[in-house]
């Protein structure tokens, strides 16, 4: 009998989808596999490939214990195909088919739409690994390096998850798209990744933490929405991916938190009270809070752009088709069809920002973005608690969503972080206070010196409160390969 | 055709209010949606549509989608490229926006537009596509589509009308005709026709392609014949530049260095709806649902030679007449939709018209002569596909000679004055034929208007050719079959009045259908298939609830809800 909870290792590809009895898909995946390994090997610097990393590997999809920790070389990581357990008699949760049995096969009429959604989601997974490929060279500790690699291998696994869906359900076209996922590459001139934010570099560790906090959180929201899909295999895939995604948010939130913690401690040790005394604070070898705020402004606003246009035909189509739901669709109490409902979206009318009601069906992106903003605000509050505890007077804030936008109604208009419309001159005068400058970047870069001793941390970041898998502080999370 | 089109709540279902008169005249200083860069024999035409620049309220032209206003500018570019920049041998059409070549006709615009506007919009865009498609053969000016980003629907149709398509191989950019799966309409700007007739895509692959929302990218696009070459993204600009250069170099025609300026038309719109040009007068009789276009003959002798022709430039009689008549036809089509009858008159010296044309025909190899002759051909074709009853009235003092005589056979019928009329001392009405009538101004079916007229009687064409230059008065003209009716002083006024009144009383739809069928006898060409088969089906679909009903795809587009279809096959 097929064991749908525990992972089967009887094929080259760990899975809980019965791959060994699905020869067609197994063959396709095995054909794709070498290309994937090549991609990975070309990507991550060689000495890290050969290092032993203390990673968790999914062994089950049981929520109570789905992973085990052990040392593994990354290329030998068991990337697998894991779907959350099927829910009995699951129904399509939204749209014009709401209440009908969930699809177990791709409905022909939505083939193109589904495939596009899966390809776009799939494209982001390897992209972030590409963006972060050189970070290990400047890791502030083995603990952080291990977290980076954990994020990387899991993004790799998420790519596998999407590729499985393409292979299993989309025939020759799907296989071609799966190949193209390895052909595109972040920042490539030849074949860039599909979304703009995934073609930017992740140049330093603060950027990495901000990215995992803000941009991976967009990923989380998208997965949440896809987990509500009426196409059951997609829903189950995304539900399991979400359990892994939580760790990425954790890396981001604690990474930024530890950076803040260290800055505040250093200020107190040096007796500096004014958080804006930037030069004096930087002289301590820590990142001043205003600069962290600027990084926050940048990454938050870039991530907002990933939600697309506030009012979107594609999003409306996907919801109505029942292939992408809203955040927590199953907990919402409405008709799940949105035939007559409205939702307020931002608009810019005669020089003023207003929110006005539009058909809710067309405002699916806006709604998900609002959910995202609420979700993202949580961590910011916890960062402020850290600052408050140290007695420093400074507050981190999410900028207004109009600030620094490239997509949607605010695109290419000049707003300050409070949402006030500015003239070009006002904007130019303020921009260096709101977004990281090249000098800020250079300063942060100057701190990015690797620390490879177990239990040691770079001077700009505090150690974590607890270790991964409850390991002690001096645990050797990565046994570095020294040639 | 893609995401991101903004829904404005109140406008979704409303028919757009008339925006005032639609003007077909523009110039580069007024472009909002395009820009042109020149580099000797290569020009680059960048489509960079201003979202806020729609012709009507209620939609935004996102993602390089277009409406009539965008196409009016393109038409102007095509015209000026040929007259003002004859040195250009290769024209690269590309996008000024990232990640999108062109998303096609704006769906909100289509959803809100009246049927009349949709049909006229499609007709004009088709004419513009034909004009730059033909530029290679006619003027040695080859249009090349350089496609990066999504190239969907009308966007791919823009590319299809170019004579070479380069697609980037960035694993994302694709070409597509998603009208059927997305909108329940056809790729009606030549899309279906050019895929099979021009690009010779196998019909089953075309079937796959035209029902596939996401389109085809990379090598497969080339293998199927949807594009000519696929180049790596990193050397896209270079490859396009090389291709343009190679095409320019291969052009056998000696390119003149300097063109002529298409100066603004002399034109006045009057309160009563009449329009006055220097050589064309448009008068309206709204009660009779009739417009009359009067064409005037030349005021002076033709220039002595080609240098003098170039010096005259846009003031040269036949060019000025072509531009003015072209503008008048377009104005009537789009702005005067209830005038179902167009009466075509002329006054002037027929011999002088022939003299002007003769200069061009004798110097047909000269670039400007060539351009003017081709332009006249295009204007005549514009008349051929104008969905109004066209009546030529050949009065005393008229000058239906050579190029102007084409109008007689573009018209659905013609009436000619016979013998002298009392109190009328104008020269007796006569038609003059020229060598131009026997090949310079072919119709869309590839035949001359005379060949089409005498489809079963080729001897009649030969007989006409023997009368070159001879003034043919009513009796002769009728004998030769060049006119429909000739009436003398006694019958003239009544016959004409009765006919015009009767014609104005028929159903406009039935007349349009009848005329479009009778006008294009003879062989099919890609062009007749576009204006006939494709357009007729599209216009049928544009009337059907599956597309335009309140529950239809066009109305539902952008709301997230799918169109509801009447599933009966008709």
CATH number, domain of B272, equals 3.90.226.10
Q: Does B170 touch chain A if contact means CB atoms closer than 8 Å?
A: yes
Do B383 and B241 belong to one domain? Answer: no
Assess if residue B485 is contained within a domain.
yes
What does the alpha-carbon distance between residue B144 and residue B164 come to, in Å, rounded to a whole number? Answer: 5
Residues of B in contact with A175 (CB under 8 A): none
Q: Report d(CA A456, CA A142) in Å as an integer.
A: 8
Chain B residues in contact with A194 by the CB 8 A cut-off are 172
- A327-333 long-range contacts, Cβ below 8 Å, gap at least 24? A327/A221, A327/A224, A327/A225, A327/A367, A327/A368, A327/A371, A328/A224, A328/A371, A329/A93, A329/A94, A329/A225, A329/A228, A330/A93, A330/A228
Q: How many domains does chain B have?
A: 2
Determine whether the interchain pair B4/A308 forms a contact, defined as Cβ–Cβ distance below 8 Å: yes
Cβ <8 Å between B558 and A362: yes
A-B C-beta contacts closer than 8 Å: 79
| Inter-chain touch A358–B214, beta carbons under 8 Å | no
On the question of pLDDT at B3 being above 80, the answer is: no
Lowest mean pLDDT among A73-87, A374-388, B58-72, B324-338: A73-87
Instruction: Note whether B234 contacts A189, CB cutoff 8 Å.
Output: yes
Whether A115 and chain B come into contact, CB under 8 Å, resolves to yes
B132 contacts: CB under 8 Å, gap ≥ 6: B78, B81, B91, B143, B161, B162
CB A365 within 8 A of CB A309: yes
Q: Which residues of chain A lie closer than 8 angstroms to B214, CB-CB?
A: 112, 115-116
B3 and A308 in contact by Cβ < 8 A? yes
What pLDDT does A4 receive?
A: 52
Residue B488: what pLDDT?
96
Which residues of B fall within a CB distance of 8 Å from A359?
Answer: 7, 9, 559-560
In a domain, B122, yes or no: yes
Same domain, residue pair B215 and B282: no
If asked whether residues B130 and B276 sit together in one domain, one would say no
Q: Identify the residue among B561, B562, B564, B565 best suited for mutation to test binding to A, counting A beta carbons within 10 A and taking the highest.
A: B561
Q: How high is the pLDDT of residue A3? A: 52
Does one domain contain both B356 and B426? yes
pLDDT over 90, % of chain B = 91
The pLDDT-based confidence of B13 (bands split at 50, 70, 90) is: very low
Q: Is there a single domain that holds both residue B372 and residue B514?
A: yes
Q: Among A170, A191, A306, which would you mutate to test the B interface (most chain B Cβ atoms within 10 Å of its Cβ)? A: A191
Q: Does residue B9 belong to the interface with chain A, where contact is any CB pair within 8 Å? A: yes
Q: Which of B171, B182, B211, B551 is the best residue to mutate to test the A interface, defined by the most A CB atoms within 10 Å of its own CB?
A: B171
- Chain B interface, best mutation among A182, A196, A198, A313, by max B CB count within 10 A: A313
Angle (CA) B398-B404-B409 rounded to 5° is 105
Q: Which residues pair with B345 in a beta bridge?
A: B294
- How far are the Cα atoms of A274, A309, A344, A364, B121 from residue A358, in angstroms, in the given order? 46, 13, 6, 11, 30
List CB contacts (< 8 A) between A320 and chain B: 560-562
The alpha carbon of residue A395 is apart from the nearest alpha carbon of chain B, in Å, by 35
User: Is B6 within 8 Å of chain A by CB?
Assistant: yes
Please indicate, yes or no, whether residues B406 and B373 belong to a single structural domain of this protein.
yes
Distance between A189 CA and the closest CA of chain B, angstroms: 5
Residues of A in Cβ contact (< 8 Å) with B212? 112
CA B331, B334, B338, B341 dihedral sign is positive
Digit-coded pLDDT (tens) for B197-215: 999 999 999 999 999 999 9
Q: Is residue B13 part of a domain?
A: no
Residue B2: inside a domain? no
Half-sphere exposure of B28 (CA within 13 A, CB side): 15
For residue B553, tell me if it sits in a domain: no
The B residues from 262 to 301 touching A (CB cutoff 8 Å) are none
d(CA A37, CA A10): 19
Closest among B90, B48, B74 to B241, alpha carbons compared: B90
Closest partner CB to B7 (pick from A113, A320, A362): A362
Q: Are strands B34-39 and B42-47 parallel, antiparallel or unpaired?
A: antiparallel
Select the residue of B5, B7, B169 nearest A358 (Cβ to Cβ): B7
Q: Distance (Å) from the C-alpha of residue A116 to the closest C-alpha of chain B?
A: 8
Tell me, yes or no, if A190 comes closer than 8 A to chain B by beta carbon: yes
Q: Is B351 part of any domain?
A: yes
B560 touching A (Cβ < 8 Å): yes
Q: Are A362 and B560 an interchain contact pair (Cβ–Cβ within 8 Å)?
A: yes
| pLDDT of amino acid A385 | 97
Residues 309-328 of A with CB under 8 A from B: 309, 311-317, 319-321
Q: Is residue B18 pLDDT above 50, yes or no? A: no
Determine how β-strand B142-147 pairs with β-strand B164-168: parallel
- Is B170 within 8 Å of A184 when comparing Cβ atoms? yes
What is each CA distance from B348 to A133, B179, B398, B427, B483, in whole angstroms? Answer: 80, 49, 5, 10, 19
Cα–Cα dist A316/A319, whole Å: 5
A317 and B560 within 8 Å at the Cβ level: the answer is yes
Position B257 scores a pLDDT of 78
User: Would B260 be classed as within a structural domain?
Assistant: no
Average pLDDT, integer, range B16-42: 88
Share of chain B above pLDDT 70, in %: 96
Q: Given an 8 Å threshold on Cβ–Cβ distance, is A313 in contact with B558?
A: yes
Residues B192 and B331 in one domain: no
A358 to B9: CB separation less than 8 angstroms, yes or no: yes
Higher-confidence residue of B132 and A79: namely B132
Interface membership of A116 toward B (CB under 8 Å): yes
| Below-70 pLDDT ranges, chain A | 1-10, 65, 483
Q: How many CA atoms lie within 13 A of B330 on its CB side?
A: 24
Range(s) of the domain holding residue B195: 32-250
B211 reaches A (C-beta below 8 A) = no
Flag if A115 and B181 touch (Cβ within 8 Å). Answer: no
User: Is the Cβ–Cβ distance between A167 and A32 less than 8 Å?
Assistant: yes
Q: What is the pLDDT of residue B1?
A: 42
Are B242 and B343 members of one domain? no
Judged by a CB distance cut-off of 8 A, whether residue A91 touches chain B is: no
Q: Are residues B226 and B285 in the same domain?
A: no
The predicted structure's pLDDT at residue B7: 33
Q: Distance between CA atoms of A462 and A386, rounded to whole angstroms?
A: 12
Distance from CA of B558 to the nearest CA of A (A): 4
DSSP B569: -
pLDDT: is B30 or A11 the higher one? Answer: B30
Asked casually if ipTM beats, i.e. exceeds, 0.95, the reply is no
The answer to whether residues B285 and B236 belong to one domain is: no
B233 and B371 in a common domain: no
Is the separation of the CB atoms in B372 and B316 below 8 Å? yes
Q: Is residue B142 one of the residues assigned to a domain?
A: yes
The answer, yes or no, to whether residue B10 has pLDDT greater than 50, is no
Q: Which residues of B touch A98 (CB under 8 A)?
A: none
Identify whether residues B52 and B138 lie together within a single domain.
Answer: yes
Compare CB distances from B4 to A96, A116, A312 and report the shortest one's residue.
A312
Query: Would you tell me which CATH number, out of the four given (3.75.10.10, 1.10.620.20, 2.170.8.10, 3.40.50.2300), belongs to the domain A19-479?
Result: 1.10.620.20
Nearest CA-CA distance, residue A300 and chain B, Å: 21
Q: How far apart are CA A159 and CA A236, in angstroms?
A: 15
Q: Give the SS3 label for residue A11.
A: coil
């Amino acid at each position: 009998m097929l064991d749908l909870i525990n992972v089967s290792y009887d094929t080259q590809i760990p899975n809980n989808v019965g791959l060994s009895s699905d020869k067609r898909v197994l063959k396709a995946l095995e054909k794709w596999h070498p290309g994937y390994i090549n991609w990975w090997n070309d990507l991550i610097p060689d000495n890290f490939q050969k290092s032993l990393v203390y990673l968790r590997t999914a062994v089950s999809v049981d929520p109570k214990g789905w992973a085990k920790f052990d040392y593994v070389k990354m290329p030998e990581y068991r990337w697998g195909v894991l779907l959350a357990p099927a829910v009995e008699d699951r129904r399509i949760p939204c749209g014009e088919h709401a209440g009908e049995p969930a699809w177990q096969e791709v409905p022909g009429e939505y083939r193109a739409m589904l495939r596009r959604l899966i390809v776009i989601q799939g494209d982001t997974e390897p992209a972030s690994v590409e963006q972060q490929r050189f970070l290990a060279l400047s890791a502030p500790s083995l603990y952080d390096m291990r977290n980076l690699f954990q994020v990387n291998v899991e993004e790799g696994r998420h790519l596998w998850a999407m590729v499985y869906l393409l292979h299993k359900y989309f025939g020759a076209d799907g296989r071609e798209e799966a190949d193209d996922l390895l052909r595109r590459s972040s920042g490539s001139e030849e074949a860039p990744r599909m979304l703009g934010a995934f073609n930017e570099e992740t140049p330093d560790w603060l950027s990495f933490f901000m990215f995992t906090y803000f941009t991976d959180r967009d990923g989380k929201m998208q997965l949440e929405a896809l987990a509500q899909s009426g196409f059951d295999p997609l829903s189950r895939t995304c539900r399991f991916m979400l359990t892994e995604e939580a760790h990425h948010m954790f890396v981001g939130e604690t990474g930024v938190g530890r950076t803040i913690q260290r800055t505040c401690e250093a200020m107190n040790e040096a007796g500096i009270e004014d958080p804006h005394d930037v030069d004096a604070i930087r002289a301590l070898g820590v990142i001043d809070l205003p600069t962290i705020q600027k990084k926050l402004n940048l990454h938050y606003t870039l991530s907002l752009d990933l939600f697309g246009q506030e009012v979107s035909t594609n999003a409306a189509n996907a919801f109505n088709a029942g292939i992408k739901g809203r955040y927590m669709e199953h907990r919402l109490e409405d008709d799940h069809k949105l035939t007559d409902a409205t939702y307020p979206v931002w608009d810019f009318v005669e020089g003023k920002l207003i929110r006005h009601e539009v058909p809710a069906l067309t405002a699916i992106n806006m709604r998900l973005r609002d959910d995202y903003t609420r979700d993202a605000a949580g961590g910011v509050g916890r960062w402020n608690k850290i600052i408050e505890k140290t007695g420093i007077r400074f507050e981190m804030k999410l900028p207004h969503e109009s600030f620094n936008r490239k997509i949607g109604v605010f695109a290419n208009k000049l707003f300050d972080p409070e949402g006030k419309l500015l003239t070009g001159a006002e904007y130019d005068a303020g921009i260096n206070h709101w977004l990281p400058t090249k000098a800020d970047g250079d300063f942060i870069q100057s701190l990015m010196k690797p620390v490879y001793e177990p239990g040691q941390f770079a001077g700009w970041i505090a150690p974590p409160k607890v270790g991964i898998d409850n390991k002690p502080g001096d645990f050797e999370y990565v046994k570095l390969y020294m040639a | 055709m893609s995401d991101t089109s903004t829904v404005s709540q109140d406008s979704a279902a409303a028919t757009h209010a008339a925006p005032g008169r639609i003007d077909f005249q523009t110039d580069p200083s007024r472009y909002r949606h395009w820009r042109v860069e020149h580099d000797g024999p290569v020009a680059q035409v960048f489509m960079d549509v201003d979202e806020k620049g729609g012709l009507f309220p209620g939609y935004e032209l996102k993602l390089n989608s277009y409406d009539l206003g965008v196409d009016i500018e393109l038409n102007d570019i095509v015209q000026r490229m040929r007259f003002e920049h004859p040195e250009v041998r290769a024209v690269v059409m590309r996008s000024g926006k990232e990640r999108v070549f062109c998303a096609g006709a704006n769906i909100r615009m289509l959803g809100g537009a009246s049927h009349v506007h949709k049909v006229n919009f499609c007709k004009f865009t088709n004419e513009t596509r034909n004009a730059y498609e033909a530029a290679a053969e006619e003027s040695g000016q080859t249009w090349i589509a350089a496609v990066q980003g999504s190239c969907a629907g009308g966007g791919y149709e823009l590319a299809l009308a170019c004579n070479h398509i380069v697609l980037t191989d960035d694993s994302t950019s694709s070409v597509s005709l998603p009208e059927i799966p997305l909108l329940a309409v056809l790729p009606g700007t030549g899309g279906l026709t050019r895929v099979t007739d021009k690009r010779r895509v196998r019909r089953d692959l075309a079937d796959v392609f035209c029902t596939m929302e996401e389109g085809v990218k990379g090598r497969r696009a080339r293998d199927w014949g949807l594009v000519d070459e696929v180049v790596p993204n990193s050397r896209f600009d270079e490859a396009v530049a090389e291709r343009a250069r190679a095409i320019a170099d291969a052009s056998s025609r000696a390119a003149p260095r300097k063109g002529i300026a298409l100066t603004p038309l002399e034109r006045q719109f009057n309160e009563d709806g009449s329009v006055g040009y220097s050589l064309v007068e448009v008068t309206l009789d709204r009660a009779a649902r009739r417009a009359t276009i009067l064409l005037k003959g030349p005021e002076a002798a033709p220039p002595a030679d080609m240098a003098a022709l170039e010096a005259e430039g846009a003031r040269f009689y036949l060019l000025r007449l072509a531009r003015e008549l072209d503008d008048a036809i377009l104005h009537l089509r789009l702005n005067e939709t209830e005038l179902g009858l167009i009466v075509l008159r002329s006054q002037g010296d027929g011999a002088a018209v022939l003299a002007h044309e003769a200069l061009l025909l004798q110097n047909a190899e000269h670039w400007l002569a060539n351009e003017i002759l081709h332009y006249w051909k295009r204007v005549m074709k514009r008349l051929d596909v104008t969905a109004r009853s066209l009546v030529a009235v050949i009065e005393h003092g008229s000058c239906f000679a050579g190029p102007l005589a084409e109008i007689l056979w573009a018209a659905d019928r013609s009436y000619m004055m016979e013998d002298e009329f009392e109190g009328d001392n104008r020269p007796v009405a006569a038609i003059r034929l020229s060598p131009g009538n026997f090949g310079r101004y072919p119709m869309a079916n590839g035949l001359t208007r005379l060949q089409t007229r005498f489809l079963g009687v080729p001897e009649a064409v030969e007989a006409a050719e023997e009368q070159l230059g001879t003034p043919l008065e009513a009796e002769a003209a009728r004998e030769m079959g060049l006119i429909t009716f000739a009436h003398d002083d006694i019958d003239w006024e009544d016959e004409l009045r009765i006919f015009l009144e009767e014609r104005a009383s028929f159903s406009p739809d039935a007349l349009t259908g009848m005329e479009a069928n009778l006008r294009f006898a003879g062989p099919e060409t890609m062009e007749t298939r576009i204006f006939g088969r494709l357009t007729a089906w599209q216009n049928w679909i544009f009337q059907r609830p599956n597309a335009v009903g309140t529950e239809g795809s066009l109305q539902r587009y952008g709301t997230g809800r799918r169109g509801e279809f009447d599933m009966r096959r008709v």
